[in-house]
Amino acid sequence: MNFRATARCLITVTTLTFLFAACAVAPRTARDHLSARFDGVRVIVDNQNWEAMAVYVLRSGTPIRLGIVEGLSTRTLAVPSSFMGNTGEVELMGQTRISDVRHRLPAVPWNAGRTLHVTLGSRPHLSLIRVF
């Protein structure tokens, strides 16, 4: 074996070792973070629009984006307790990314560990929120 082949083999083995070590300590999925102890609210968003929707939590009227839910799909989002404020309620809003239609949902009381089911309808008056 010549020097170049030995060096290439050594670099490959070292790179793979670091790669496997990095993967071993990384979280498996985003769901692992949600299953850990969480003091906020989980929000299951069912987007019944063709368009993708940006989902926001409103804190003192200021929207803070939680994530994007693609059209005709469901996604679980997490609202940390630090986003809630001191009112004891959480208020959510969905906004289409293309036509800029806003679906503002009524404020609901929140408790740590609670799950909210949000349905974003094809029109704002068809949107609803359920607390579990």
Q: How many other C-beta atoms lie within 10 A of the C-beta of residue 102? A: 14
Q: Which domain holds residue 19?
A: 1-29
How far apart are the C-alpha atoms of 92 and 129, rounded to whole Å? 9
Q: Which two tokens stand for residue 36?
A: 């850990």
Percent of the chain with pLDDT over 90: 33
Do 71 and 113 belong to one domain?
yes
Contact 68, 54 (CB under 8 A): yes
- Write out pLDDT tens, residues 75-85: 999 988 888 76
Identify the pLDDT of residue 23. Answer: 62
Do 57 and 16 belong to one domain?
no
Do 21 and 48 belong to one domain?
no
Do 4 and 67 belong to one domain?
no
Do 41 and 10 belong to one domain?
no
Confidence (pTM): 0.69
Do 48 and 20 belong to one domain?
no
Q: Residue 35: is its pLDDT beyond 70?
A: no
Number of domains in the chain: 2
How far apart are the C-alpha atoms of 68 and 50, rounded to whole Å? 13
Do 52 and 2 belong to one domain?
no
